[in-house]
Amino acid sequence: MTTTKEDTSRVTSPDPLSVGDHVVNLNGVDIHYRVDGNGPLLFLVSPGWGIGSGYMQRGFKFLQKRFRLVFVDTRGSGLSGRPTDSAQMSSDNMADDLEALREHLRLATIQLLGHSNSGAIALSYATRYPKNVAKLVLIDSQLLGFSAGGDTQTFLEARADDRRFKAAVRAAISYFSGNAKPFANDGDLSTFVAEVLPLYLYRPERKLALAQEHLLVGQISLYAFEAQNSADRASGRNQTTLLGQVVAPVLITVGRHDWICPVSVSERIHAGIPHSRLVTFEESGHMPWLEEHEKFSLELMQFLES
């Protein structure tokens, strides 16, 4: 569906950037976003696979004193609606929703932060609308069209006998090998994420309880999980060929022990974007803001405020 004037007419507040929850119809889909904090605007987009932006609202609360944070639930996730056609659930569609939101808010440019799969959405936005990005932050980002499956396999094999990861490795290998029973509902997917969550941390014995508190809140949308994966596969998007189109300054951060978006992914992104800086956190997995909070927040603040 295309965006029309009517698409952007319905919001929950006269001021679309006031603190609180908002819903606006963009590209034919009700998109939910939450605004918190005070200061320059920073957009944080959720991954597209169903988890929503809640974990980002909890994890990046420390930014509220210096920035006005706009947490966006991608279509099909969190409190946002679904398109009438699930084929319109690609990362590119989600990037187009961000552009429609920027236009709706009448902003010349935006600062944008993406994590994991939402890094791929943020990259899609920055390559489709390069002049509209003031700064870009990519945290343990995915890169569509670039496979690091060998690194992930090596990671899992190395932790197969570690009691901290053993059950999680077993669940992950069962899923990726196709031997696991297909997810039947949101509860099945949510249970699987809980099972593999230790893998997302370098030292789960220290931060697993905090990660559970941040991520395992509510159900994860199986619809979004399946629809986004299917739509991205169908699009055949290869972002490695598009990285040179990013013109904004970019901060790329990655945990040395990330199993799902290994260091090699961030290194490839860094190699392809001229104005980028890569920072590797040596004692972190997929969520360095949890495991090395002070170092991570310092790097992030310095980049955003420079």
Q: State the CATH number of the domain containing residue 258.
A: 3.40.50.1820
Report how far residue 196's alpha carbon sits from residue 155's, in angstroms, rounded to the nearest whole number: 13
Model confidence band, residue 14 (pLDDT cutoffs 50, 70, 90)? confident
Q: Beta-carbon neighbour count of residue 1 at 10 Å?
A: 13
Asked if residue 131 is part of any domain, the answer here is yes
Q: Are 139 and 121 in contact (CB under 8 A)?
A: no
pLDDT higher than threshold 70 for residue 159 = yes
| Averaged pLDDT, 230-249 | 97
Residue 1 is predicted with a pLDDT of 33
Give the closest residue to 54 by CA, choosing from 78, 21, 23.
78
Asked if residue 118 is part of any domain, the answer here is yes
Report how far residue 262's alpha carbon sits from residue 259's, in angstroms, rounded to the nearest whole number: 5
Asked if residue 158 is part of any domain, the answer here is no
| Averaged pLDDT, 127-143 | 98
| Averaged pLDDT, 7-22 | 72
pLDDT higher than threshold 60 for residue 6 = no
9-18, 51-60, 173-182, 262-271: least confident range: 9-18
Task: Give the domain range for residue 264.
Answer: 6-148+221-305
pLDDT higher than threshold 80 for residue 12 = no
Q: What is the mean pLDDT of the chain?
A: 95
Asked if residue 213 is part of any domain, the answer here is no
pTM exceeds 0.85, yes or no: yes
Asked if residue 184 is part of any domain, the answer here is no
pLDDT tens for each residue of 15-53: 999 999 999 999 999 999 999 999 999 999 999 999 999
Asked if residue 190 is part of any domain, the answer here is no
Question: For the purposes of burial, counting CB atoms within 10 Å of the CB of 15, is it exposed (0-12), middle (13-18) or buried (19 or more)?
Answer: exposed
Residue 219 is predicted with a pLDDT of 94
pLDDT higher than threshold 60 for residue 71 = yes
Report how far residue 76's alpha carbon sits from residue 66's, in angstroms, rounded to the nearest whole number: 30
First to last CA, the chain: 39
- How many residues are recorded in the chain? 306
Report how far residue 169's alpha carbon sits from residue 205's, in angstroms, rounded to the nearest whole number: 16
Total domains, the chain: 1
Q: Are 303 and 250 in contact (CB under 8 A)?
A: no
pLDDT higher than threshold 70 for residue 122 = yes
Residue 13 is predicted with a pLDDT of 55
Asked if residue 290 is part of any domain, the answer here is yes
Asked if residue 51 is part of any domain, the answer here is yes
Q: Which amino acid is at 162?
A: D
